[in-house]
């Protein structure tokens, strides 16, 4: 979560990030929500297999790979602007809905954490 705060502090007040660093920074909620869930699960004494841990963390990796590869293969520019990811591409569906997985992850893990 500290990395998220640093990402927003840098991109809102300091300067723009581009490329892979912008995608990874913007996707940090997809990493922090599963990590919080895994932490809560470990506090309750439940044992988790390595496969389960990898499955929870794979969403972050898949999201970063998909967004970065779309930017790479369509030659779209990816940058952050005031804390948001800006993707200059002709793929309107992707450009308008790339943040939905972050919202779904936050809601899902928030409920699951309870």
Under the banding of pLDDT at 50, 70 and 90, the label for residue 51 is: very high
Helices (H), 10-49: 19-26, 29-43
CA–CA separation, 18 and 28 (whole Å): 15
For residue 80, the cross-strand partners are 85
- In this predicted structure, the answer to whether residue 75 has a pLDDT above a threshold of 80 is no
- Say if CB 8 and CB 17 are below 8 A apart: no
CA–CA separation, 81 and 22 (whole Å): 10
Under the banding of pLDDT at 50, 70 and 90, the label for residue 103 is: confident
- In this predicted structure, the answer to whether residue 95 has a pLDDT above a threshold of 70 is no
Segment 21-36, tens digit of pLDDT: 778 888 888 888 888 8
Mean pLDDT for the chain?
A: 80
84-88 and 77-81 as β-strands: parallel, antiparallel, unpaired? antiparallel
pLDDT of the residue at 30: 85
Q: How far apart, in Å, are the Cα atoms of 56 and each of 50, 69, 74, 98?
A: 10, 21, 29, 19
């Amino acid at each position: 979560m500290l990395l998220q705060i640093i990402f927003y502090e840098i991109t809102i007040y300091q300067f723009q990030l581009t490329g892979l660093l912008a995608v990874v920074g913007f996707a940090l909620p997809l990493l922090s929500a599963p990590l919080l869930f895994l932490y809560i699960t470990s506090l309750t004494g439940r044992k988790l297999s390595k496969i389960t841990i990898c499955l929870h963390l794979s969403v972050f990796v898949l999201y970063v790979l998909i967004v970065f590869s779309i930017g790479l293969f369509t030659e779209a520019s990816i940058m952050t602007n005031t804390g948001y990811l800006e993707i200059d591409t002709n793929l309107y569906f992707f450009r308008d809905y790339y943040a939905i997985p972050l919202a779904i992850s936050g809601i899902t893990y928030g409920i699951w954490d309870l």
